[in-house]
Amino acid sequence: MTINTNIVHKTRTQVVLEALRERILSGDIAAGTPLRQSALASELNVSRIPVREALLQLESEGLVNFEPHKGATAAGLCAEQAQELFELRALIETDLLAKSIDKMTQDHFDIAQKLLDKLEASLHQPDSSNTWSSLNTAFHASLYVAANRTSTMEIVQNINSNCDRYVRLHLLHLGSFQDADKQHQQLLDFCKARDKKAACELLHQHLLGSASEIVELVLRQTK
């Protein structure tokens, strides 16, 4: 009868956290919107406690600004931040990729390819922006797992979570990322060929290219 048989006891805090994160990332909650605890609580049918805890976690993820006694707001979009985050990704992810390439096995390639296929398929669907972004993150991550760098990956995922907002904005305005998909496939091919230099170079360009487009978009948006 119940659909959620294998869902194991999510706390309300987690439910609220995921709901709010998605709403902010998707733009459903616009940048700068004040996030009133009681309003969110009654809207999500919980008390203020889980809402507060979720907001606190979102603050540490950088998606929310939480000021004591004042309240929380959805973090604003900022061109400088976007530029910095993507440059940081370029720096760290090329390093990860360089460390990963030699260790990648056929299994890693297969997993990455499967994600890439899904990514491409998602573009042809109407409701793509929801899924494209997380698949994009997953694809990138799949190229680095062989480096076996748990702590680094955790930090990268965190940075990515922030980039997500900008990527979704980007996608929303462009309609599709055909260039990105082409670059992704090429990137994976370079990995398969173990061409470290070419792969890192391409990844670097891929990220900085996104950055400059996004920065321009944000500047226009927030002006």
Chain residues in the site for DNA (CB under 7 A): 8-9, 11-13, 34-38, 41, 45-50, 52-53, 68-72
Query: Token digits for 218?
Result: 């944000």
CA dist 87 → 44, 118, 206, 218 (Å):
37, 26, 11, 16
Q: Which is nearer to DNA, 40 or 169 (CB)?
A: 40
Shortest Å, Cβ 182 to a copy of itself: 28
Query: Token digits for 194?
Result: 């173990």
| Gap between the Cα atoms of 74 and 76, Å rounded | 6
Q: What would the x/- binding string for a copy of itself be over residues 76 to 95, using CB under 8 A?
A: ----xx--xx-xx--xx--x
Shortest Å, Cβ 55 to DNA: 8
Query: Token digits for 109?
Result: 């390639």
Q: Which is nearer to a copy of itself, 9 or 124 (CB)?
A: 9
Shortest Å, Cβ 62 to a copy of itself: 8
61 binds, among a copy of itself, DNA, none (CB under 5 to 8 A by kind): a copy of itself
Q: What number of chain residues touch a copy of itself (CB under 8 A)?
A: 30
Which residues between 3 and 62 bind a copy of itself (CB under 8 A)? Answer: 8-9, 11, 14, 49, 52-53, 56-57, 60-62
219 binds, among DNA, a copy of itself, none (CB under 5 to 8 A by kind): none
| Gap between the Cα atoms of 44 and 204, Å rounded | 41
DSSP 143-168: HHGGG--HHHHHHHHHHHHHHHHHHH
Shortest Å, Cβ 66 to DNA: 7
Q: At what angle do helices 150-174 and 128-144 cross, to 10 degrees?
A: 150
151-160 long-range contacts, Cβ below 8 Å, gap at least 24?
152/92, 152/96, 153/96, 155/92, 156/89, 156/92, 156/93, 156/96, 158/61, 158/62, 159/85, 159/88, 159/89, 159/92, 160/89
Comparing CA positions, the residue from 132, 124, 143 lying closest to residue 186 is 143
Q: Which is nearer to a copy of itself, 147 or 180 (CB)?
A: 147
48 binds, among DNA, a copy of itself, none (CB under 5 to 8 A by kind): DNA
Shortest Å, Cβ 15 to DNA: 7
Kindly list the residues in this chain that would bind a copy of itself in the complex (CB under 8 A): 8-9, 11, 14, 49, 52-53, 56-57, 60-62, 68-69, 80-81, 84-85, 87-88, 91-92, 95, 149-152, 154-155, 159
